[in-house]
Amino acid sequence: MPILDIVKYPDPRLREPTVEVPELTDEVRSLVQDLKDTMFAADGAGIAAIQVGRFERIFLIDGRVATGSEEADAMVFINPEVVETSAATVRSEEGCLSFPGVFVEVQRPRRAKLRAMDLEGNMFEAEGEGLFARAMMHEFDHLTGQLLVDMVGMVKKEVIRRRMKKWHESNPDPTV
């Protein structure tokens, strides 16, 4: 399957509204497979469709993050919604495939529960703590246009902007 190009900050597509998936089609299944292949190739803990320039409300979490099992397949969330989060929070470092080489401290709920549809069209709820909760909330944020850069102060924002400018200068887009 093709490995898709990951959209990098400050590309405006990362802020575009996402749209619900009205039905599971072969195109949606193909997109999910491409997202999975792209996530694994980039060694990501998760990936949202918006990160490859697609606007469907879909994200994946690496099965190892979701379950702790090395054999677990990626978990697919279609049209996810947050059911609840814990009042207790934890601050920890996060990275993002759309911000290569950038890691920032982000405060997130310790526990999160999301409801979504799987690739077979079944509704399910996923509840997790720690890294799994963090990954679900991070990917859900992508579906609402919320990015790592939005969760830091002005000084750190400027550091991230400069680092990403440098990254883009070192990795020119061949399509431009």
What's the CA gap between 137 and 134, in Å, rounded?
Answer: 5
Dihedral sign for Cα 3, 42, 74, 146, please: negative
The side-by-side arrangement of strands in the sheet containing 46-48 is 46-48, 58-61, 75-85, 111-117, 123-129
Task: Catalogue the active-site residues.
Answer: 139
Residues pairing with 112 in the sheet: 85, 128
Contacts of residue 61, defined as CB under 8 A and 6 or more positions apart, other chains included, come to 45, 46, 74, 75, 77, 132, 135, 136, 139
**SS3 state at 92:** strand
**CB-count exposure of residue 14 (10 Å: 0-12, 13-18, 19+):** buried
In the chain, how long is the greatest CA-to-CA distance?
A: 45
> Is-contact 4 32, C-beta < 8 A?
no
